[in-house]
Chain A
Amino acid sequence: MQVTIQTFIGGLSLGAIYALVAMGFSLVYRTMGLVNFAHGNVVMIGAYFASTFYLSAKLPFAAAMVIALVVTGLIGIVIERVLRPLENKDFDLMLIGTIGFGIVLEALAIIIWGATGRAVPSPVPGAPLDVFGIRIRTYDLVVLAIAAAATAVLVLFLQRTKRGAAMQAVAMDHQAATAVGIHVGRSNSIAFMIGAGLAALAGGLVGPLLYVSPAMGGTLGIKGFAAAILGGFGSIPGAIIGGLCIGVLDGFTAGHFQGYSELVTFLVFTVIIMVRPTGIFGERTVNRA
């Protein structure tokens, strides 16, 4: 029982990371109908920036995160600008274009930081908390708190600000949005920047949990994407639930199947998605037919 609960909580903190990745996917998808397969690699770049500012520049962890967020956000803007001609056109081509970006980002990371990874020490040292005999890593709580705060800020932004409302309008009908004077390109650019920022946040937070390496983008991206689809692509609450589910599933398969955990996670995911292709909350379809 104790083990189960501990695994569960460990899974939740990893799941919070997947949820952040999934939210980035969903935000970009619902505003511009683009599935960004480079998203995982953007997470990896974010993780490297955060760890570089934290370890090499000796900045405090929070400051390192903020800088990493801004720099990675700029990379997001660049990707959006290059792929802009494809927006609202061939869906499959866009998908492949972002895969191309992913390939480039991974290679650049190898050139800049080397092919071997690095371990990032936890920014909140100290013994695990002991709650009724269950040992909880302090850092897990930090991750959960930051992820929750980020989600709250994002939802407030989308619902309470003019800019956020404009983005929702673009998501629903980009032509009508243009007609009422919204700059669709700029709105998409901001969506992509926020998506990349969420990726950087996820990357920075995951650094101390996993090992930062150029290859981490692939797995994190695919699991984040799986989380987004599981919850219902394009839905923010769906991304959170999906992320936590995949995280917990991951935690338990890692415990039970050791090396085969990935195999089991993806098989389970495939079966779930076969049974219910629109995910738990149903896809928020960007209807542009």
Chain B
Amino acid sequence: MRYRVGGIALLGVAAWLLPYQLDSYAIHVVNVMLLYALLAIGLGLAMGIAGQINLAQVAFFGVGAYVTAILTTKSGWGFWAAAVVAILAAAAIGLLVGTPALRMQSHYLGIVTLGLALAFTNWVTNSHLAGGAEGITGIPRPQLPGVDLSSEYLFYYVELIVFAVALAFGIFVVRTPLGRRMRAMRDDALAAGAVGVEVPMLRMTAFLFAGVYGGIAGVLYAGLIRYVAPETFSIANMFLLLAMVIIGGRQSLVGCVIGAISLALVRELLVDYPTYAQVAYGSVVVLTVVFAPTGLAGLPRRVTGWLRRRGWLPGGAATAGALRPFQPYGQAPAPQAGPMLEVTGVSKHFRGLTALQDITLTVPAGQIRGIVGPNGSGKTTLFNVVSGLYKPSAGRVAIAGTDLTAARPYRLAQAGIARTFQNLRLFAALTVRENVLVALDRSRIRSIWRYAVWQVGVWRHDRELRRRADQILERFGLTDFADSLPGALPYGIQRRVEVARAMAATPRLLLLDEPAAGLNGEEVRQLAEIVRSIRGAGVTVVVIEHNMGLVMSLCDQVTVLSNGRIIADGEPARVAVDPHVIEAYLGDSTVIDVPAAEEATQATEVKL
């Protein structure tokens, strides 16, 4: 930590003294470089942190520059007033370009943003207002009392300060709740929605950031060059910017800056051979994505990892801790009686296929309800309808008396539903602690204003969240793995992390989708203990499970689905001998030997 502070101070001093070493051409190059770095931070936030493919960054840059140019030259505004409007305009365009992200992702979003960027260049090349292909000249030099900004040396300091603030703010966002939710959304948008992350709003926020950073860079560009023309904002420059972010490492803002600075330097060295430079950086992009997808920023970790594997560095094998026993929740007063989950006449069709047919079931508060049925009988589809991933074709879903049919997943999460997934959906690039933190974080998008004016509040909130996350990790016995990535952990521990994450959202209703799949006997026993304790804490639990031993011992009531219909419903022991159930599983009514509830606690793994 002390080294880090020292390093940053040293970099700051070096940056402050840099102009004394440079001639007037070199300082110009550095000034342009800083603008690229600003743009790269904006692109990195949208693409690397929030996972939104944004190929319109150069258009946001252009909006900032052009609005400044038009307002100062055509309307006679002062530079700084124009600058404020320009940044607002770029932010607005950012939101506008981002709206398609609400409906589509990945390559679709790529093509739409690229198309809109092309539309922008097309507009400025043709518009009379924007000066056509010749662009706009004679932008007045920005005035700052006591500082002559026509000197590029002094302009450098303005840019440096803006850049430092922008980078610090970016890193602040990444490390605090907002950025964490964005990274969770990038890793798995579905799971993020299920723990209460407002996915649509966060996508817009990502584009808002990209727009603001682009706008600021555009304003500075107009002040520095004092001339704008369409070719600066061409697709070729967009791809150059993309190359900077990819080569530097898109998931690290510092990496984006390093990428921007190094690529701008290389471009400057090859300024007489622009096409060869283009071949070079295009090839490096290809090589980077194939061989070093984390870019320059990821290199140190890759190198140390490689050294460790060869035994040249200590550490080596994962410094694994131990999974500690679960510490039960305290007994909460029994929740007030009444239904927690009411599903009324729900049907779900996929084109011709009927996955659910007129399902009606009521789960009273404080119950553990089992849902069983053969594969393909619609169990997970039912969960997906209840947790808002699917819209039912017919019917209604109510939580604690409130109708929440077809509400967005994050709305349902806020209303008190949490769930786990059959195939584990942990946020892969977030540590175990961060996985829990995302679910703990109940702050809504409307509190985003605090990032602009009250950062201390954000920071305090984050510290409080971390304290609570550590409590949850301790309760689930996961403290030793707090800083590991989930993918590096054994399967059984990952399952437990997912339950911990779901419980971090403090739900009223917990949906567990095959929580015992892949667990060994001892782990199943621990799971049963955990689920009972969760119910004891006043949470209603619905569990899909194939392990009949677990279902028999754990559930108060069992509902059996087959071909999308409920075929039986009642106490476990009665349901297990129901001829319809046996027929659904085995195809005829031969009575099978079903383990009784008592011996089931020994976790006989009867996978039906």
Interface residues of A (CB under 8 A from B): 35, 37, 82-83, 85-86, 90-97, 99-104, 106-108, 110-111, 115, 218-219, 222, 225-226, 229, 258-260, 262-263, 266-267, 269-270, 273-274, 277
Contact = CB atoms under 8 A, between A and B. Distances in A.
Contacts of A86: 289-290
A5 to B, nearest CB: 27
A71 to B, nearest CB: 19
Contacts of B112: 269-270, 273
B123 A263 contact: yes
B115 A266 contact: yes
Given A103-B282, A225-B111, A229-B111, A94 B123 contact: no
Contacts of B329: none
B425 to A, nearest CB: 11
Contacts of B107: 35, 91, 95
B275 A99 contact: no
A82 B23 CA distance: 43
A90 B286 CA distance: 14
B128 to A, nearest CB: 11
Ranked 3 nearest A-B pairs via Cβ? A100-B285, A103-B282, A104-B282
Given A86-B290, A101-B282, A262 B119 contact: yes
Nearest to A219: B118
Interface of B: 51, 53, 99-100, 103-104, 106-108, 110-112, 114-116, 118-119, 122-123, 125-126, 235, 239, 242-243, 246, 275-276, 278-279, 281-286, 288-290, 293
A231 to B, nearest CB: 13
B19 to A, nearest CB: 33
Contacts of B288: 100
Contacts of B275: 107, 110-111, 115
Contact of A104 (B122, B126, B235, B279): B279
Contacts of A110: 275, 278
A103 B282 CA distance: 5
Contacts of A270: 100, 112, 115-116
Contacts of A96: 242, 246, 285, 289
From DSSP, what is the main secondary structure of chain B's interface residues? helix
B547 to A, nearest CB: 25
B286 A222 contact: no
A95 B54 CA distance: 12
Contacts of A93: 289, 293
A104 B284 CA distance: 10
Contact of A103 (B99, B103, B114, B285): B285
A99 B285 contact: yes
Contacts of A219: 118
Contacts of A229: 108, 111
A269 B118 CA distance: 13
Nearest to B115: A266
B110 A263 contact: no
Given A93-B293, A270-B116, A104 B283 contact: yes
B122 A97 contact: no
Contacts of B284: 100
A260 B282 contact: no
13 contacts: A83-B286, A95-B107, A97-B285, A100-B283, A100-B286, A100-B288, A101-B286, A103-B282, A107-B276, A229-B111, A260-B126, A273-B104, A277-B108
A35 B278 CA distance: 22
Among B125, B284, B286, residue most surrounded by chain A Cβ atoms (within 10 Å): B286
Given A93-B293, A266-B118, 13 more contacts: A35-B110, A83-B290, A92-B106, A96-B289, A103-B243, A104-B286, A107-B276, A107-B279, A111-B275, A225-B111, A262-B118, A266-B116, A270-B115
Contacts of B111: 222, 225-226, 229
A92 B53 contact: yes
A218 B239 CA distance: 11
B290 A260 contact: no
Nearest to B112: A270
A99 B293 contact: no
Nearest to A89: B293
A238 to B, nearest CB: 14
Contacts of A90: 293
Nearest to B239: A103
A100 B123 contact: no
Contacts of B278: 103-104, 106-107, 110
B286 A260 contact: no
Given A90-B293, A101-B282, A108-B279, A222 B118 contact: yes
Nearest to A100: B285
A32 to B, nearest CB: 13
A129 B234 CA distance: 40
Nearest to B277: A107
A260 B112 CA distance: 17
Nearest to B99: A274
B123 A260 contact: yes
Contact of A82 (B114, B286, B293): B286
Contacts of B108: 229, 273, 277
A38 to B, nearest CB: 10
Given A94-B289, A273-B108, A259 B125 contact: yes
Contacts of A111: 275-276, 279
Contacts of B289: 86, 93-94, 96-97, 100
Nearest to B186: A92
A225 B114 CA distance: 11
Contacts of B246: 96, 100
